[in-house]
Amino acid sequence: MASVLVVAEVGEGKVKKTTHSAITCAQKILAASSGSFSILVIGAGAASAAAELEGFGAQKLLVADDASLAAYVAERYAPTVAVAAKGFTHVVATASSFGKDLMPRVAARLGAAYVGDITEVVTDSTYRRPMFAGNAFGVAKVETSVQVVSARQSAFTPAEASGGKSPTETVAVAAPGQAASRVEFLGQETTKSARPELTEAKTVVSGGRALKEKFDAVLAPLADTLGAAVGASRAACDAGYAPSDLQVGQTGKIVAPQLYFAIGISGAIQHLAGMKGSKVIVAINKDADAPIFQVADYGLVADLFTAVPELTAAIKAAK
C-alpha cells in the first residue's frame, strides 16, 4: 500500500498553483496502488497557507512553520522534508525551480531513487519522462523502498478541491546540516506584473526574435486584450528583446495553456519542448516552411507586424 507525501510550494504566504499538479501526480500513484496521501506545507507562514489545501482530500496536512525558513534555501528545507517523509513510500513535488532544486537533496538524505520531470505515472514504481528535448521518452523503474519524484506541471491537470477538511499536524523544523552554514541567502529579485503568471496562465502570447525592438509594442496589446501572459523564445531573450524570465522552452519555463500564440517563432525543438503540451497552438510566421506549423492547430503565413495588430483589433471589436 502506497503512502505519498506531497511537498507544497509556498510563496508570499500562499500555496502556489504548481502544488495542485503535484497532488494530481500523487493521486495517479495511488490509483495504481491503494493508499493515501498527505501534504507537507513548509516555510514561514506555512500555517496560514495550509488552510488553502484543507479540501483536497489529504489524509493530513503537515505544517512546518518557522521564521528560519522565511527565505528558501534548499539546504535548510531538505532536512525537515526528509524527516517528515519518514514512513512514506513516495515523496512528490512539482518540477518547478523549487522542486528541481529541493527534491534531489531530499532523495539523497533518504537514500532514495529520484526521478525528475515525469510526465506520466505508469505504475506506482514506473514513470515516463521526456528525453532529448522531448523528442524521445524514457521509462524509469524505481526499485528503492522510498521513491522521490518531481512532476512536470504541464503534464498533470491541477487538482480541484473535493470538499471535506483534512486535519493539521505540526512538524518540528529539523536542524540544518553543515552544508547550510556554507550557503548564504543574499536576496531575491521578483518581477511584478498585472498579467497572469506565465506557468499558470490559460492563454500565453509568445514572440520570437523576428519582433526585434517592437517585441512589447506588438505583443502587449494582444496579450492585454486576451488577459494573457507574455512569453518569448530563447532567441528573443538572448537578443535582449525580452527579459529572460519570459523564456519558454527546454532551458526556460514549461507551459501548457489552453491557448498558445507563437508569433514570429520558427519552432526549434528546444522551444517546442516547453510549449507543445498546449491545448490549442496558433502560429503566425511569414515563413511557410517554419517547423512551428507542424505542431500548430491554426497557422497564418503573414507579416506579423500587420497580422497581429489586425488580430488585436478584430478581437477587441468582437468583445
Q: Which three cell numbers mark 75? A: 539546504
DSSP assigned state of 211: G
Q: Do domains 2-182 and 203-318 have the same CATH topology?
A: yes
Q: Which of 217, 240, 213, 219 is nearest to 231 (CA)?
A: 219
Q: Where are the domains of the chain?
A: 2-182, 203-318
Q: How many helices (H) and strands (E) does the chain have?
A: 8, 17
Q: Which of 187, 30, 223 is nearest to 123 (CA)?
A: 30
Q: Which of 31, 12, 2, 275 is nearest to 133 (CA)?
A: 275
Backbone angles phi, psi at 277, to 5 degrees: -85, 0
Residue type present at position 46 = A
Q: Which H helix or E strand runs over 96?
A: none
pLDDT tens-digit profile of 144-169? Answer: 999 999 999 888 989 999 888 999 99
pTM over 0.75? The answer is yes
pLDDT tens-digit profile of 128-149? Answer: 998 887 778 999 999 999 999 9
Q: What CATH number is given for 2-182 in this structure? A: 3.40.50.620
- Across the range 176-197, mean pLDDT stands at 81
Q: How many other C-beta atoms are found inside a 10 Å radius of the C-beta of residue 74?
A: 18
Top CATH class of 203-318 equals alpha beta
- How high is the pLDDT of residue 241? 96
Neighbouring C-alpha atoms within 13 Å toward the C-beta of 89: 16
- How high is the pLDDT of residue 307? 97
